[in-house]
A and B are shown apart, each in its own frame.
Chain A
Amino acid sequence: MKYLTEYRDPELVQEYLQEVHRITTRPWTLMEICGGQTHSLVKNGLLDMLPPQITMVHGPGCPVCVTSISVIDEAVWLAQQPNVILASFGDMLRVPGSKKSLLEAKAEGADVRILYSPIEALQLAKENPGKEVVFFAVGFETTAPANALSVVQAAKLGLPNYSILASHVLVPPAMEAILGDRENRIDGFLAAGHVCAIMGTEEYDPIALKYQTPIVVTGFEPVDLLQGILMVVQQLEKGEYKVENQYARSVLREGNRLAQDTIREVFITSDRTWRGIGPIPQSGYEVNERYRSYNARIKFHIDIEAAEENGQCISGDIMKGLKKPVQCPNFGKACRPEQPLGAPMVSSEGACAAYYHYASAPAEINTPVCN
C-alpha cells in the first residue's frame, strides 16, 4: 500500500532501532500520547525491540478511555428516551457506564446506531423527521472539526431534530496535568500526530519550555514511532527540550486553520472530568451559546447524578504513565475485554486492551505483577 508500506519497511526499522540503541546512554521514560500509537507499538512488537533503558508508558490519548462515567450515563439515558436515536462511533458502545453500556441499552431496545461520521447522523435526522437524533460527539481535537461541522450544517439546513452530546477532550491540558503531577516521571513525549494535524504544533512550545521536556509530534507506523523515539532520545541525551515534528507529511506548524475555525465557530473550551484522572480545567469543548439548541444537554434537560467510578480500575495511573496495564492486579483476571472494569480494557485504542490482545510475552497475560 502506497504511503503505508514505506513506513513499515523492515530495513528502515532496523536502521532506526540500531541508532536508538547506539545513542541511548541512560534510562529514559517516554510517553506516547495517542492510543493509536500505543497499539501500533504493541501490535508490531516494537516495545521488546527497544533498548532496555527506554521505558514507554502509555498516555491518555484514547477518547473512549477518558470519557467520564457520567457522560456515558448521559448517553445511555438519552438512548433510553422515547423517540430518540442515539448515534455513536462503534468504539463507545462497549464502555461500561455506572449501570450499563450503550450496547446493553441497545439490547434492551434503545435505538443506538453505529456510525462512521457525524455527517451520517445528519442524514439520519433528515430521514427521520419525527425522531430526535443525538450524536455522541466524542474524541480529541481530531474529531472536533467534523462534529462541529455537523452542527453548522444542521443549522444551515434548519434541522430541528439534530443535536450532539459533546464530550471532547484536549491534549495540551492533559499533558500539563501529567507533567504537573508530583509523581510524574515522564522525560519526553511523542505527541499525537493526528491531533496536531488539526491544531498544529505551536501550543506545545510553552509546555516543552515550562517543563523542560522534549515533545516530538509523531505518526503511527513503526518507522514513524521509531524515528519519533530517536528524536526524543537525541534531545534528552543532549539536554535539549524543544518541539519537533516527525510527522511533517501530515502536520503543519500552524495546523489546519479551516478546521480550527470550524471548531471555534461551534465550541468553547470548558472544564472536563477525565475518567480515571479527574477534573482538568479548560480541557474540553462544549457547544457554545450560539448553537445551544444543538446541545443535547440543554435540549433534553439532562440532569444525572455524577456517578462514582469503579474503584478497582487503576486506569488513571495507567494513563498518567505511573503503571503499566500488567501491573494491575485485575488485568486479565477480573478485568477482561468481555467483562471490563474500566474503559482502557474495552477500547480498541486502550492501553489495557492493547496489552491483553497483543502482549508480546504470552506469559505476561496471566502473570499478576503487584506493586
Chain B
Amino acid sequence: MQLACPLPKFDFDVITMGHGSGGLLTHKLLQTGVFDLLKNDMLDQQHDGARFELKGPVAFSTDSYVISPIFFPGGNIGELAINGTVNDLAMCGAAAQYLSLAFIIEEGLTMEEFWKVLVGIRDAAQEAGVRVVTGDTKVVEKGKGDKLFINTSGIGLIHPQAAIHHNRIEAGDKIIISGNIATHGIAIMSLRKGLEFETSILSDTAPLNHTTKRLLDLFGEKIKFLRDPTRGGLASVLNEIAGMTALGYLINQGDIPIIEEVEGACEMLGLDPLYVANEGIFVAVVKKEVAKAVVDALHNDPYGACAAIIGEVTPEHPGKVVLKSRIGGSRVVNYLTGEQLPRIC
C-alpha cells in the first residue's frame, strides 16, 4: 500500500495547531494530502458543501470514530470510519453513495501517520464504491484529543426491494450471523497497554454494502432486519431487537461462529465474546423458508464465508434473549452494564 502511495513531500513532519487555522497550512495540508488522495468531481469543486441529486428514498447516518490505537492488526481508524458509516447505511438497506469526512487531529500527529490513515480511507472508499464529497479538519492542542478522531456521515439510496423494519419480525423467523464474532475487539485488545499478546487475529473491518445488496437482490423483503453488532457485540444487538419487538430470541451457543484463537483469548481475558465488538459482520433476521438459502448465498460472498443460522425468534420469553449452552443448559443473555472489565483471577 505504501509503495503504491508514497508519502508526498510536505514541508512539515507533524501536524501543528496551524494546520487547523484555516490559513495557508490548512490549505497546504488539504491540497497535498486530502484532495489528491480522495479526488472526485464533487470534492474537486471545493464548495463549502456538496451539491447533488438523489432520486428515491434515502438513508442518512453518522458516526464518530475514536478508536485507540489508531493503527491495529487488520486496519486503521480511516478504514473503520468509512466502513462503519457505509455499514450503518447498509443495515438500513441502503447503498452508501456520498460521505462527509471530518477530522479532529491532536497536535503532534505525524504526517506519516495521517497519510497512512488517508490511504486507508481512500482504499476503503474505493472498495465500498462511495465518494467523500465534503469534509472538515480541526486541530486541537496536545492532550485535548487522542491522536485522531474522525466523524463520517453518509447518504445512500435504499434498495427498491428492501423492507427492513423490526416490526416485520415474527415468531419463527431465523437469526443469521454473517461471520465470526468478536474478531475486531480481540484484535484491538491484543494491542492494549499491559496486555500485548502475540496473535494472528486481524480486525474484521469490511464494507458490507455489496453483501447486503446481493442479499436484497435475491431475497428482497424476506430479509426483515439487519444490524451490525459493533460496540456491545452480538448480545447487545439481540437485546435491542428483543426490546423493540417484544418477542423472544433463542440462540444456540454451539452454532455461533468464532475463531478458536479469539475464543481462547476471550477465555484468557475473562471476556464474553457475545459482548465483544465486531466491525465486519451483521445479524440478519429472515423469513424461515429462505434462511438456508441466505446462508448459502453468504457462503459465496467474500464477507460471508463463515455465516450461520444461530437461532430463531420465538413467542416464548418475550423481550429476552436466551442462549442454549453447548452442554444443553440455557441462560438469559442480558445487556452489558458498562465496560467489560478484566477479572482478577
A362 on interface, CB distance cutoff 8 Å? yes
**B328 nearest CB neighbor, chain A only:** A10
Stretch at the interface among A85-93, A242-250, A311-319: A85-93
Q: Are B345 and A194 in contact (CB under 8 A)?
A: yes
With A10-B326, A116-B194 as known contacts, state yes or no: A359 contacts B344, CB within 8 Å. Answer: no
- Shortest A281–chain B CB gap in Å is 24
Contacts A44-B327, A45-B329 given: A140-B345 contact, CB under 8 Å?
A: yes
Of listed A42, A45, A120, A222, residue having the most chain B CB within 10 A? A45
Instruction: Determine if B194 and A36 form an interchain contact, defined as CB atoms under 8 angstroms apart.
Output: no
Complex interface bits, A184-207 against B, C-beta within 8 A gives 1, otherwise 0: 000000000010000000000000
**Does A142 have its Cβ within 8 Å of any Cβ on chain B?**
yes
Residue B110 lies at the interface, judged by CB distance under 8 Å to chain A = no
Which of A44, A120, A349, A362 counts the most B-chain CB atoms under 10 A from its CB? Answer: A362
- Indicate if the CB atoms of A45 and B334 lie closer than 8 Å: no
Q: Give which listed residue, A49, A338, A348, contacts B343 with CB less than 8 A.
A: A348
Q: How large is the interface on A (under 10, 10 to 19, 20 to 34, 35 or more residues)?
A: 35 or more
**Cα of A117 to Cα of B269 in the assembled complex, Å:** 12
The B contact surface, by secondary structure, is loop
Q: Is A348 a contact of B345 with CB atoms below 8 Å?
A: no
Task: Report whether A43 and B331 are in contact in the complex, using a CB–CB cutoff of 8 Å.
Answer: yes
B337 sits at the interface (CB 8 A): yes
- Bound state CA distance, A10 and B327, in angstroms? 4
A138 at the interface (CB under 8 A from B): yes
Complex contacts, B46 vs chain A, CB 8 Å:
none
Does A356 belong to the interface (CB within 8 Å)?
Answer: yes
Bound-state Cα–Cα, A45 to B324, Å = 8
Question: In the complex, are the beta carbons of B267 and A90 less than 8 A apart?
Answer: no
CB distance from B271 to the nearest CB of A (A): 9
> Which single residue of chain B is at the shortest CB-CB distance from A340?
B337
User: Is B40's beta carbon under 8 Å from chain A?
Assistant: no
Q: A115-B194, A359-B331 are in contact. Are A43 and B325 (CB under 8 A)?
A: yes
Does A8 sit at the interface, judged by CB under 8 A? yes
Q: Does B32 contact A (CB under 8 A)?
A: no
Is B342 on the interface with A (CB-CB < 8 A)?
Answer: yes
Q: B260: CB under 8 A from chain A? A: yes
Alpha-carbon separation in the docked complex, A316 to B324 (Å): 32
- Whole-angstrom CA separation of A348 from B332 in the bound complex: 16
Q: In the bound complex, do residue B331 and residue A114 qualify as a contact, i.e. CB atoms below 8 Å apart?
A: no
Check A42/B344 contact, CB under 8 A, given A10-B326, A337-B338, A362-B320.
no
Q: Are A63 and B344 in contact (CB under 8 A)?
A: yes
Nearest CB in chain B to that of A13: its residue:
B327
Distance in angstroms from A159 CB to nearest chain B CB is 17
Bound-state Cα–Cα, A93 to B343, Å: 11
Interface size class of B (residues with CB under 8 A): 20 to 34
0/1 interface trace, chain B 310-345, chain A, CB 8 Å (1 if under) = 000000010010101111111111100110011111
Query: Which residues of A217-241 are within 8 A (CB) of B?
Result: 222
Q: How far does the alpha carbon of A338 sit from the alpha carbon of B338 in the complex, in Å?
A: 7
A89 to chain B, nearest CB (A): 4
Q: Which residues of A contact B331 (CB under 8 A)?
A: 42-45, 358-360
Interface residues of A in 65-124 (CB under 8 A from B): 89-94, 114-117, 120
Please determine whether B329 and A48 come into contact, CB atoms closer than 8 angstroms: yes
Interface flag for B6 (CB, 8 Å): no
B108–chain A nearest beta-carbon distance, Å:
20
**Which B-chain residue is minimally distant from A90 (CB atoms)?**
B341
Q: Once the chains bind, are A91 and B263 in contact (CB under 8 Å)? A: no
Tell me, in angstroms, the Cα distance from A360 to B317 when the chains sit together: 11
Chain B 158-171 against A: per-residue CB contact (8 Å), 1 yes, 0 no?
Answer: 00000000000000
Whether a CB of chain A sits under 8 angstroms from the CB of B3 is no
Contact residues of A between 34 and 53, Cβ < 8 Å to B: 36, 42-46, 48-49
The CA-CA distance from A317 to B328 in the complex, in Å, is 31
Q: Does B5 contact A (CB under 8 A)?
A: no
A4 within 8 A of B: yes
* Residue B302 CB within 8 A of the other chain: no
In the assembly, what is the distance between CA of A44 and CA of B333, in Å? 11
Interface bits B254-271 vs A (CB < 8 Å: 1, else 0) = 000000100110010010
Query: Which residues of B sit under 8 angstroms from A222, Cβ to Cβ?
Result: 327
Given A91-B341, A338-B337, A348-B270: A360 and B260 interface contact (C-beta under 8 Å): no
Considering the complex, give the chain B residue whose CB is closest to the CB of A87.
B194
In the bound assembly, the distance between CA atoms of A13 and B328 in angstroms comes to 9
- Distance in Å: Cβ of B254 to nearest Cβ of chain A: 8
- What would be 29 A-B contacts, judged by CB atoms less than 8 Å apart? A1-B263, A1-B267, A4-B264, A8-B326, A9-B327, A10-B328, A13-B327, A14-B328, A45-B324, A45-B325, A45-B327, A45-B331, A46-B329, A48-B329, A64-B344, A89-B344, A90-B341, A91-B343, A94-B341, A114-B341, A114-B342, A116-B194, A116-B195, A139-B345, A142-B345, A194-B345, A358-B333, A359-B332, A360-B331
Q: 7 closest pairs, A vs B, by CB? A: A45-B329, A90-B341, A337-B337, A358-B331, A90-B342, A13-B327, A362-B320
